[in-house]
Amino acid sequence: AQSVTQLGSHVSVSEGALVLLRCNYSSSVPPYLFWYVQYPNQGLQLLLKYTSAATLVKGINGFEAEFKKSETSFHLTKPSAHMSDAAEYFCAVTRSGAGSYQLTFGKGTKLSVIP
């Protein structure tokens, strides 16, 4: 079984400040990990994904995440927040082996950017 824990249902940062959204996972097999973003009244958009290649993954809109097996973490960062980053962010996990199709999501973190 897999699970995802996102620490902090709501995070506020000032425009230009570092964004750090935390995600810890639990998986009995090597995982594939994802970050999705959801803007109001829209579907989910993939930001980045980890599939066992490089542990530092770069995504769209200046976001990146680092897979740390020892900490079972996959935290999302961006050096400088922009107003347009205000949205809800979801971390998700799926198995890398057989039956690896369904995504298990965290509860989400709503990011507010203060001008």
Partner 1 sequence: GAGVSQSPSNKVTEKGKDVELRCDPISGHTALYWYRQSLGQGLEFLIYFQGNSAPDKSGLPSDRFSAERTGESVSTLTIQRTQQEDSAVYLCASSLARRDTQYFGPGTRLTVL
**Cβ distance to partner 1 smaller for residue 17 or 108:** 108
31 touches partner 1 (CB under 8 A):
no
Distance CA 31, CA 50 (A): 8
**Please, what is the minimum distance in Å from the beta carbon of residue 94 to partner 1?**
8
40 binds partner 1 (CB under 8 A): no
Contact 87, 20 (CB under 8 A): no
Report which residue type is found at 45. Answer: Q
- Measured CA to CA, the distance from residue 29 to residue 113 in angstroms comes to 36
- The closest of 41, 102, 96, 46 to 76, measured between CA atoms, is 46
* Binding status of residue 52 toward partner 1 by CB under 8 A: no
In a 3-state reduction of DSSP, which class is residue 9? coil
Taking the complex as a whole, how short is the minimal distance between the CB of residue 43 and partner 1, in angstroms? 4
- Interactions with partner 1, residue window 88-107 (CB under 8 A): 90, 92, 100-107
Taking CB under 8 A as the criterion, the residue among 22, 49, 59, 64 binding partner 1 is 49
Minimum distance of partner 1 from residue 70's CB (angstroms): 25
Q: How many CA atoms lie within 13 A of 83 on its CB side?
A: 2
The site for partner 1 (CB under 8 A) is made up of: 32, 34, 36, 41-46, 49, 90, 92, 100-108
